[in-house]
Amino acid sequence: MDNREKEIENLKDYKYGFSTDIENTRAPKGLNEEVIKFISNIKKEPQWMLDFRLKAFERFKLLKEPDWQKPKYPKIDYQDLYYYSAPKSMDDKPKSLDELDPKLLETYKKLGIPLQEQARLNGIAVDAVFDSVSVATTFKDELTKKGIIFCSISEAIQKHPDLVKKYLGSVIPITDHFFATLNSAVFTDGSFVYIPEGVKCPMELSTYFRINASETGQFERTLIIADKRSYVSYLEGCTAPMRDENQLHAANVELVALDDAEIKYSTVQNWYPGDKDGKGGIYNFVTKRGLCKGKNSKISWTQVETGSAITWKYPSCILKGDNSVGEFYSIAITNNHQKADTGTKMIHLGKNTKSKIISKGISAGHSDMTYRGLVDISSKANNSNNYTQCDSLLMGNKCGAHTVPYIKNKNSKSNIAHEATTSKISEEQLHYCQQRGLNSEEAVGLIVNGFCKEVLQQLPMEFAVEAQKLVGISLEGSVG
Amino acid sequence: MEQVQKDFDNIIRTSNFSKKEVEIKQEFLKKFLEKGFPNRKQENWKFSDLKQIISKNINEISFYNDYSVSNKIDTSLFVDELEHNKIVFINGRIEKIDFNYENKDKVEIIDVLNLEKNLNDINSLIELNNAFTNKCYKVLIKSGYSLKKPLIIYHITNDKVISKNINLRLDFELEQNSSLRLIDLFKDNSEKNFLNIFYNFDLNKDSILKNYKIDKSINKNIKYSFNNIEQDKNSISETFVYSSGSNFLKNEVNCNLNGEFSSAFINGIFKLSDDKQHEIKTNINHLTENTKSYQLIKSVLENNSRAVYQGKIFVNSKAQKTDGYQLSKAILLSESSEFNAKPELEIYADDVKCSHGSASGSLNENSIFYLMSRGLNYQQARELLINGFLLDVIEKITDSEIKNLIKNMIGVKE
């Protein structure tokens, strides 16, 4: 085998497995007030932001790392991580895409997101996050005309302090759980979206995240506010280079929907899951929460989770406004030694609130998958409704599929319905497909795609295609 | 907790346990003292915090019971529509064991303190039970024998006891191809006591156990009942719970399906009102191939009452061809009633059929309208619907004699 073949062989295991050499500006290793001040200083943040971070850090010191989750992981030494790193060429902010580090642009090309073309062709404004700092934001002009603010959160802190001050931490308070509080203290960058009153965002907003620089925990912070009668659809997609060390990713995503507003948040997550023996891979401990603050508001989460060594997240909806709606559509696929503990929380507080949960879990290889969800209808939430369906598919007897729903109904005028099934792909189905000329892998791909269809349909077009392929790729080698 | 140690020493002083028994008891006591009463920090007790419930309902709980004096049996409490064998507990003391209807050499009552069995890690209440039970009998049904009449265990308390912790324990072994029908009847005339009941069942090949627990009479006691069932090949266990009378009642069933083709059925009814808080917690462990479990729990909740159903199906990687099913349904009749469910599946084998469903809500207004348009008044329509809702569970009882008895007892009509 010559060198080239070997190289290709190496790349094959993980489609997006490569990393670029860019010098990093790093904060000193470890977690303390100095590091937080360093981050705040380098981002030229106002005093109130630093206070927010320090307050969170004070709180963080009192908190204990949770351990009730199903997937266990080796203890993380929080003092042994870098909390800030940025591509060096960012020190002088580029004025246009041409000024970008050519290596950076190269990386995007390999990922299949040539920034300019994709943005223009697809009509998507791409806010690409390379490591921790937003590198380029496109389509700004078109959005600005409508009064839409779509920028990095650091920029928003500088330019729109009132909005950030009002909403940051209003859904995920700094007193929340361990990882959310950690994020509040040390978050580096992320996206900020504000849709003004009555505006329907003309395009899908999208951020591509990429984890680079080894040993860097990524702490993204996303804040999306949809003002009265507005609509926005937001896409988040992730790929990451191959790594041996485990990397922590603890992002916070906050959504706020005011009266009659609607937010649709879609995620395709395909971070490095570790190799076949479960070595390496990303720890994806994300806090996502949406607040339906106003009347008739709606928040819809759609996620396709195929990557990461450990996925541990529960995108939630707090249905505070009367007649508000929360939705959660999820596909989670685990293979090899991947572990996932995911689900949602639907907290019904307002009257006539509705929620729907469709969760599809597929586990193969030695992996473990848990659906964990909460539906809580409070005593004041009259005439509320919930429907939950969670289905699991098992491939092989080395993997596990678990369902842990918590169902609380405190209101006699409200209804909750929940169903769950666990099964495997039947021999008949496989036989039927193979008889018609598909090989066993194609057959499994087809059946699994059918199993997931309800959720895939919820994704925006561009994502649906990618996600469908991803479902197939993730299960490669799990049959036979 | 000082009281526990004091009462324990007192009991040891006044009774005549052997040195070894005392040692074992002390070991269990130590474990209980370390953990204390379970509270909401433990996942199992998340929805009903026993520590809080005990301190709210019983101010000063005492663990000392004087078992030297016998109690008078009030025969009017016995069921007279059905001939049956009896075990009578009064205030936690065994007053009568009567197997008059059976072949003497087929049923054996063994006086054992079989405490060494390693069940300590389940929860601290089992340890409390083992530390304080004064007598432990084992009922052994010999191979091939089916009891002619059902066995009714009367759990009677009277006003002589107040603010006491009463522990009792029974072991049952069903030898090959034997069967037992067992009814637990609770008759309480006392209040503010905490009853802690622990049964252990060993089901050998082809044996059948049917256990019906009826907690109907309104009382202000707190109860915890734990059934541990070990099942060998082809054995069947059927558990029925009617949960209604006590202030607090938690029924926990742990079932290990160790042998192929064994099956477990658990059916339950919550009928609660007035601040009552009840729970059913099940653990069905499918440990080998071709095992089956079925659970059906229905609740009717009025006035400020609260029901919790935590059901877990565990399937290990050897247990292919498992068939597991859980269904819980609840009707909330009042603004302040509450139903919590946690139907859990933990599955490590791929060729299984496991599903669960859970629904809770109000009475269907359309059905009421339908009935009222045919001449029933609102109250009648409501009763008819609730009756039908609960009848579904009663119909699952496989023994027709006992089914009728229970129907009459709880007033569900055909």
**Contact call for residues A153 and A252 (beta carbons, < 8 A):** no
User: What digits encode the pLDDT tens for the residues B85-128?
Assistant: 999 998 888 888 888 888 888 888 888 765 555 555 678 888 88
Does residue A355 register a pLDDT over 50? yes
Tokens of B239: 């558990």
User: Chain B contacts of A394, Cβ < 8 Å?
Assistant: 347, 349-350, 352
**Contact call for residues B252 and B282 (beta carbons, < 8 A):** yes
The answer as to whether B357 is a domain residue is no
User: Chain B contacts of A398, Cβ < 8 Å?
Assistant: 317
Residues contacting B225, CB < 8 A, separation 6+: B184, B195, B197, B198, B199, B213, B249, B250, B251, B252
pLDDT value of residue B362 = 87
Tell me, what's the ipTM? Answer: 0.83
A-B Cβ pairs (cutoff 8 Å, strict): 113
pLDDT value of residue A40 = 87
Tokens of B181: 């029908």
pLDDT value of residue A79 = 82
- Percent with pLDDT over 70 in chain A: 76
Least trusted range by pLDDT, from A196-200, B159-163, B277-281:
B159-163
The residue out of B173, B202, B231 marking a domain boundary is: B202
Tokens of B71: 């109690």
pLDDT value of residue A290 = 94
| A409 near B CB under 8 A | yes
Domain of residue B172 covers 1-202
- Which pLDDT band, with edges at 50, 70 and 90, does A76 fall under? confident
pLDDT value of residue B310 = 93
The answer as to whether B258 is a domain residue is no
- Percent with pLDDT over 70 in chain B: 98
In A, minimum Cα distance to B334 occurs at A412
Half-sphere exposure of A378 (CA within 13 A, CB side): 13
| B396 near A CB under 8 A | no
The residue out of B202, B227, B244 marking a domain boundary is: B202
The residue out of B186, B202, B218 marking a domain boundary is: B202
Does residue A393 register a pLDDT over 70? yes
The answer as to whether B108 is a domain residue is yes
User: Chain A contacts of B333, Cβ < 8 Å?
Assistant: 412
Of residues A30 and A447, which shows the higher confidence score? A447
User: What digits encode the pLDDT tens for the residues A213-237?
Assistant: 334 457 888 999 999 999 999 888 7
The answer as to whether B143 is a domain residue is yes
User: Chain A contacts of B336, Cβ < 8 Å?
Assistant: 379
| A36 near B CB under 8 A | no
User: What digits encode the pLDDT tens for the residues A47-63?
Assistant: 999 999 999 999 998 88
Rounded Cα distance between A154 and B247, Å, is 57
Determine the average pLDDT of the residues in A184-199.
88
Rounded Cα distance between A451 and B113, Å, is 54
Rounded Cα distance between B134 and B132, Å, is 6
Q: Could you tell me the pTM of the whole model?
A: 0.84
Does residue A376 register a pLDDT over 90? yes
- Which pLDDT band, with edges at 50, 70 and 90, does B339 fall under? very high
| A411 near B CB under 8 A | yes
Does residue A347 register a pLDDT over 50? yes
Closest-CA distance, B196 to chain A, in angstroms, reads: 27
Nearest to A422 among B334, B345, B359 (CB): B345
Tokens of B289: 């191939």
The answer to whether the CB atoms of A409 and B338 lie below 8 A apart is yes
Nearest to B337 among A408, A412, A417 (CB): A412
The answer as to whether B410 is a domain residue is yes
Distances (CA, A) of A170 to A123, A148, A188, A331, B106: 31, 21, 19, 28, 70
Q: Indicate the average pLDDT of chain A.
A: 79
Cα A337 to its chain centre, rounded Å, is 20
Determine the average pLDDT of the residues in B141-161.
90
In B, minimum Cα distance to A404 occurs at B344
Closest-CA distance, B338 to chain A, in angstroms, reads: 4
| A398 near B CB under 8 A | yes
The answer to whether the CB atoms of B342 and A404 lie below 8 A apart is yes
pLDDT value of residue A240 = 45
Residues contacting A279, CB < 8 A, separation 6+: A244
Please give the DSSP secondary-structure letter assigned to residue A124: -
Show the beta-strand stretches assigned E in B50-121.
85-90, 93-98, 107-111
- Which pLDDT band, with edges at 50, 70 and 90, does B372 fall under? very high
The answer as to whether B14 is a domain residue is yes
Determine the average pLDDT of the residues in A10-29.
57
Which of A409, A416, A429 to mutate: most B Cβ within 10 Å? A409
Determine the average pLDDT of the residues in A387-400.
88
Total domains present in chain B: 2
Show the beta-strand stretches assigned E in A166-230.
191-195, 205-210, 221-226
Q: Interior CA angle at A261 toward A258 and A266, to 5°?
A: 110
Query: Residues, chain B, total?
Result: 414
**Of residues B151, B181, B163, the one with CA closest to residue B58:** B163
CB proximity under 8 Å: A 207-266 to B: none
User: Chain A contacts of B344, Cβ < 8 Å?
Assistant: 402-405
Nearest to B353 among A379, A397, A423 (CB): A423
The answer as to whether B210 is a domain residue is no
**Of residues B146, B161, B282, the one with CA closest to residue B206:** B146
Q: Indicate the average pLDDT of chain B.
A: 88
pLDDT value of residue B24 = 81
Determine the average pLDDT of the residues in B11-36.
82
For B350-369, give the DSSP string. Answer: SS-EEEEEEEEE---HHHHH
Show the beta-strand stretches assigned E in B115-218.
136-141, 151-157, 165-174, 179-188, 191-203, 208-215
Does residue A241 register a pLDDT over 70? no
The continuous run of DSSP H or E covering A392 comes out as strand A385-395
The answer as to whether B223 is a domain residue is no
Helix (H, G, I), strand (E, B) or coil at B215: strand
Of residues B310 and B64, which shows the higher confidence score? B310
Determine the average pLDDT of the residues in B227-242.
94
| A426 near B CB under 8 A | no
Nearest to B336 among A379, A394, A401 (CB): A379
